[in-house]
Amino acid sequence: MNHSLSTETRKSAAFTLIELLVVIAIIAILASLLLPALSSAKARAQRIKCTAQMKQLGLGFDLFTMDHNDMYPPTAYATGDYQYQLAWDDYLHKYIGGSAPDADLMVGISGGIADRSTIPKILKCPADTIQISIAWATFGQRRTYAMNYAGPNFSLSTATAPLPEPTHGAGIYYNLRGSAAGSLPSWEPRGYKTSVVGDAAGTIQLVEQPEGGNIAGNDWPSFSQGPTGPSNGDQTPFQIAIGGRQKWGEKAYGLHGKRFNYLFFDSHVGIHKITDTVGRGTTNAPKGMWTLTTGD
């Protein structure tokens, strides 16, 4: 009789197949409700970290200008291919926690692209999942950010040419491949004075530009010409390239809740839809926060 009671107790304690299926269904429903919330929380955490990184980069720009006669660094100084280039992140390198020697940033054993172990991690947004596919830079470090270019005449072909009047940002580009090919890039190039920025709180200094060729130390695309524009292979100077082989920028924009982070000249960081940054312009021809002129 005791044996019979024990068996009956075991039977009543067991789950039936229907009960198990109901439990599994409930777990699946809860998971479907929780996963989007967890994904949203992860994306928010990435945005917050990206914001903090851009603020640190803003401090790096400020420290650089203090040491360089109130001048911003150029977006790049190139006298040849990647072995002979300095980009804005190289000029900020020692101000943002970098450990590469000057030779490696310029023409060291790895050329102008220093090994990723020496490059500040704050140059890469956590939402930037792009893998470097360019053969000569696979040892390098992704760089998510780009300087707002100075305007249509932002490229100089000689080191002594007068700086053109900036219309957008402070990103002047020294492209000296012809006149000084193979020479060492300059550690002390002329840049725009901080006084060119009239509305520091309303003008973009640095943008998120998660495109394929954006690699620390590389001149192209160390600058940004706007939110959208035509693709130039893996190295495009726009936040979201139209017609490219990969939708890197578009994907990163989606991971940030259809927004990008922007560093302004007063060192604050704002997160905006691209359409909210262009003022009276368009995403292909931006004005507004992209220009130095108040009221655009």
Q: What is the predicted pLDDT for the residue at 26?
A: 76
Strand bridging mode 240-242 / 228-230: parallel
* Contacts by residues 232-240 (CB-CB < 8 Å, ≥ 24 positions apart): 234/133, 234/134, 235/211, 236/211, 236/212, 237/146, 237/149, 237/209, 238/209, 238/211, 239/207, 239/208, 239/209, 239/210, 239/211, 239/274, 240/274
Q: Point out which residues pair with 263 in neighbouring strands.
A: 206, 269
Taking only Cα atoms into account, the Rg of the chain, rounded to an integer number of angstroms, comes to 25
Q: Calculate the CA 233 to chain-centre distance.
A: 18
Peptide bond into 210 cis (omega under 30): no
**Polymer length of the chain:** 296
Q: What is the predicted pLDDT for the residue at 25?
A: 77
Q: What is the predicted pLDDT for the residue at 109?
A: 46
Q: What is the predicted pLDDT for the residue at 1?
A: 46
Low pLDDT (below 70) residues in the chain: 1-15, 31-41, 107-112
**Model pTM?**
0.86
Q: What is the predicted pLDDT for the residue at 56?
A: 98
Does an H or E element contain 90, and which?
helix 88-91
Positive or negative, the Cα torsion across 223, 233, 260, 98? negative
Q: What is the predicted pLDDT for the residue at 107?
A: 64
DSSP conformation class of 164: P
DSSP SS3 for 208: strand
